Amino acid sequence: MRASELVPGVILHTELNPKLWTLTNKLTPKVRAALLKIAIKFHKFLEVPVQVKDVIITGSQANYSYTDKSDLDLHLIIDYNRVQCDQPVDELFDTKRSLWKLKHNINIHDIPVELYVEDLNKPVTGSSYSIILDQWINHPQRHAEHLPGGVDGVTNAWISVINNAIAQDKIKELYMVRDLIKNYRRLGLKQQGEFGRANIVFKTLRNNGKINQLMKAITDAEDQSLSLD
């Protein structure tokens, strides 16, 4: 894809998203009330008898780097050490989150709301806002006007890799590309941070639908491997 055709992964703004935030960087009362209602419903859906310590929003919609494709990340903060279950707690909540996503399509002012369960002992980095306390935990920081160079070139290289794996339609290669992209972003976040090239490349791939295409190809390949002609 030409650079002009790519939907950007990050756009730097001078203000927070006015759909969500007041001019003094507080959540609007209606948005806060709606998010609390969603959090309560999600907590009931989890069916896990453990106290929610806080409810926060984080990610691009709690920062100056949102785009029209950015989700609103809503996290329930729970002490994983107090959860009693026969499987790893993170796997339990990841499964619950996936089931919730299959059943619900919730938007706040046309912004999709993504639900997560976060371990109290492993807080997310970056800006975050407490819905319960109605105040910032970590304030968003304005960054340099210019994003790192080379994003479009690296993104197009990854698009070629993804397209080639999908065309081959071999589950081993699809898994390999998925894991390579996951590790690329993970290491990039560790070494470069949220506004490093690797994370922006990943967000650009996601905003242009390539991550969804890859995951759908994996699902289709898995289904085919389990089917009998």
pLDDT (tens place) for every residue of the chain, 229 residues total: 555 588 888 888 999 999 999 999 999 999 999 999 999 999 999 998 889 999 999 999 999 999 999 999 999 999 999 988 877 898 899 999 999 999 999 999 999 999 999 999 988 878 999 999 999 999 998 766 667 889 999 999 999 999 999 999 899 999 999 999 999 999 998 888 888 899 999 999 999 999 999 999 999 999 998 898 7
Q: What domains sit in the chain, N to C, each tagged with a CATH number? A: 29-138 (3.30.460), 144-226 (no CATH)
Q: What is the pLDDT of residue 125?
A: 78
Alpha carbons 59 and 203: distance in angstroms, whole number: 12
Which helix or strand (DSSP H or E) is residue 30 part of? Answer: helix 29-46
pTM: 0.81
Do 27 and 131 contact (CB within 8 A), yes or no? yes
Q: What is the pLDDT of residue 55?
A: 97
Alpha carbons 195 and 192: distance in angstroms, whole number: 7
Do 11 and 61 contact (CB within 8 A), yes or no? no
